[in-house]
Amino acid sequence: MSAHSLFWRTHTGIMLRLQKFLADAGIASRRASEQIISEGRVSVNGKTVATLGTKINPLHDHVTVDGRPVKAKRKLYIALNKPTHYLCTKAKDDERRKIGDLLPKEWDNLFSVGRLDYESEGLIFLTNDGDFSLKLTHPRYGISKTYIAMVEGKVEPLVIRKFLEGVTEDGEVLRAKKAKILLATKAKSVVELELTEGKNREVRRLFESQNFRVKKLQRISIGKIKLGELPLGKWRALTETEIKSLLPEI
């Protein structure tokens, strides 16, 4: 797929709140952009602006952060089928492979929306849209994520009930919105889980709390977007319809 064939959006002649413009430009999430504005680090047409809610015209106003110009970027929304043994990070001091290595080199400004741990695989989004990332990762928006877990041993219905009711692990309540057993033998079980809170290693910790070890973990959907037939290690652009389905009016 050509980078130039991707769906992308720009703002043309409309007034935007300054914090949204900064998020759209990939400076930071909207919340973090608000903090940057409040700290007096942003200027519009040469004047420092520290008032939240200030509106600008992206085509005509000159915006800087810490003295550096900020330009509206085309927004990229990428779905990737992450293989195991890839990190969801941009850290340069780690010699392990990173999901950015699977994308065109000119997209080095993209960041992952949430994480999949090193041993997990499946659907993950990358973007340069901070506002999009915030809405997909903040618990209050409740974006569902569905996983298939293969574990050692037989998972009984009682375990599923505990997942749905919630278990406490390291002082934190972990809970699945939905869970069902797809296969259960003495040797192994396959379980499908839907989560909405996005806590660190939540699926693995749920099973560990019941003394099960996860052998394989794959994320198969985020919201209404399914992994489908996307090959392992490959990516595709999200369509406009898909993006809108992930960003309902809140």
Residues 6+ apart with CB under 8 A from 81: 121, 122, 123, 227, 230, 231, 232, 233, 234, 235
Are 34 and 58 in contact by the 8 Å Cβ rule? The answer is no
Residue with tokens 């200030």: 54
Q: Which of 94, 117, 131, 170 is catalytic?
A: 117
Q: Output the pLDDT for position 93.
A: 66
Q: Output the pLDDT for position 59.
A: 76
Are 220 and 226 in contact by the 8 Å Cβ rule? The answer is yes
β-strand pairing of 111-113 with 121-127:
antiparallel
Are 25 and 73 in contact by the 8 Å Cβ rule? The answer is yes
Q: Domains along the chain?
A: 3-70 (3.10.290.10), 77-140+225-246 (3.30.70.580), 144-222 (3.30.2350.10)
Q: What digits encode the pLDDT tens for the residues 105-161?
A: 888 889 999 999 999 999 999 998 877 888 888 877 889 999 999 999 999 999 999
- Terminal Cα-to-Cα distance of the chain (whole angstroms): 33
Closest CA to 36 of 24, 26, 47, 22: 22
Are 246 and 89 in contact by the 8 Å Cβ rule? The answer is no
Q: Output the pLDDT for position 53.
A: 87
| pTM (predicted TM-score) | 0.74
Q: Output the pLDDT for position 214.
A: 97
β-strand pairing of 121-127 with 77-82:
antiparallel
Active site includes 93?
A: no
Q: What residues of the chain score a pLDDT lower than 70? A: 1-14, 93, 248-250
Q: Output the pLDDT for position 151.
A: 98
Q: Output the pLDDT for position 14.
A: 63
